[in-house]
Chain A
Amino acid sequence: MLENYFPVLLFIIVGLAIGVIPLLLGWILAPNRPDDAKLSPYECGFEAFEDARMKFDVRYYLVAILFILFDLEIAFLFPWAIVLQEIGMFGFVSMMVFLSILVVGFIYEWKKGALEWE
Chain B
Amino acid sequence: MNLETLMFYLLSALTVFAALRVITSRNPVHAALFLVLAFFSTAGIWMLLEAEFLALTLVLVYVGAVMVLFLFVVMMLDINLERLRVGFWKWFPFAAILAVVLLVEMVMVLGSSSTAGTNVNVAKHAADYSNTKELGRLIYTEYIYAFELAAVLLLVAIIAAIALTLRQRSGTKHQVQGDQIQVRSKDRVRIVSMPSVARPDTRK
Contacts and interface: CB of A to CB of B under 8 A. Distances in A.
Q: Do A and B bind each other?
A: yes
Interface of A: 1-6, 53-56, 58-62, 64-69, 71-73, 75-76, 78-80, 82-83, 86-87, 90-91, 94-95, 97-99, 101-102, 104-106, 108-109, 112-114, 116, 118
A118 B124 CA distance: 54
B7 to A, nearest CB: 8
Contacts, number: 148
Contacts of A53: 75-76
A59 B152 CA distance: 24
The main secondary structure of chain A at its interface with chain B is: helix
B166 A94 contact: no
Contacts of A79: 53, 132-133, 135-136, 139-140
Contact of B125 (A1, A55, A105, A106): A1
15 contacts: A64-B72, A68-B61, A68-B66, A71-B60, A75-B57, A76-B150, A78-B53, A79-B133, A82-B136, A86-B137, A90-B140, A94-B140, A101-B151, A102-B154, A114-B166
B57 to A, nearest CB: 5
The main secondary structure of chain B at its interface with chain A is: helix
Nearest to A54: B76
A94 B139 CA distance: 10
A116 B174 contact: yes
Interface of B: 3-4, 47-48, 50, 52-53, 57, 60-61, 64-66, 68-69, 72-73, 75-78, 124-127, 129-133, 135-137, 139-141, 144, 147-148, 150-152, 154-155, 157-159, 161-162, 165-168, 172-175
B155 A62 contact: no
B160 to A, nearest CB: 9
B31 to A, nearest CB: 15
Given A3-B127, A109-B158, A98 B137 contact: no
A61 B72 contact: yes
A80 B139 contact: yes
A95 B166 contact: no
A75 B60 contact: yes
Contacts of A59: 165
Given A1-B126, A68-B65, A112 B140 contact: no
**4 interchain residue pairs of minimum CB distance:** A79-B136, A83-B136, A105-B158, A64-B69
